[in-house]
Structure 1
Amino acid sequence: MPQLTPKVLGVAAATGLLILLGAWWMGPSLFGSSSGPERVFTDATVTSPSDCSDADAQETVRFDLGGRTREGRLSGCGHDQDEQVRIAVAQDATSSGSPVPVALAATAPGVSDLRRPVGLGLLVLSCASGGAYAFLLARGPRPGLVRPSAA
């Protein structure tokens, strides 16, 4: 069995860091491109709330976009009448009398918040713990350790 020297462990750690830096640099396109329409974030007021017991709950919201007041259809529930919510609207959304489909801003795709760095940090921790576990398995039992007997 080959020896796990500090040099071997250093090469493994450096390779892991390079992979993580590559994943960070590639960004969202690493796991698929977000080729959807560009979104505009704005505040909206809930005008017609929906009960969460409805199977296909949709709420109606009112918001200003491009100097015009528009209505939007939000797939969701549980908001109160006249509650302020932050929404994402497709930049090329046109209102032809019918409500424009909108989404909550927190659920819109993007990398402008802390989710991606936290996710990559958790990836680092999982890689480190997996490497430590593999090291302990490869090292084998330590001589001189007393094992409890199965009495």
Structure 2
Amino acid sequence: MGKIAVAVILLTAVIGGAALWYTAERAFYEPVAFTQGQEIRLVPLNGDQPEAIVANDIQGIDAPSSPIKFRACFTTPLTLAMLTETYRPYEGAVPLVAPSNFPCFDAEAIGRALETGEALAFLSEPDIRPGVDRVVAVFADGRAYAWHQLGGAEGAESQ
């Protein structure tokens, strides 16, 4: 009788673990359809309305189940110097881990680059959803990443 109980417990744990993994990594995520010319926007230093920037090879995912599941990867020809002179920086940017089936977004590498200054973060869309900002991190070589982060524009550096 004890062996059957242990087997049932183990089977339940395996099924529960698989279901948890599936909901965290695969369920609900869908590709994002970006509007041509409005793919990625940044808030200028002298204004509050986000402006579209040049974004190439953009790919993204999102899920309606949470406001912070958005992730995007793209490239931009804009230099860090031009971006820092034109757009509002974002203090406290912390990229969230993406599901394993979206390998272009490496949150740990992006986070390290933000800490070392290899990449810079900018405010893309304040309060894109209540209490949630869209943040963009750009590397000197043009690689760029976007995600949603809790903060409601509180993470944005004041003008």
Length-normalised TM-score, structure 1: 0.31
Larger Rg: 1
**More helix, by proportion:** 1
Length-normalised TM-score, structure 2: 0.30
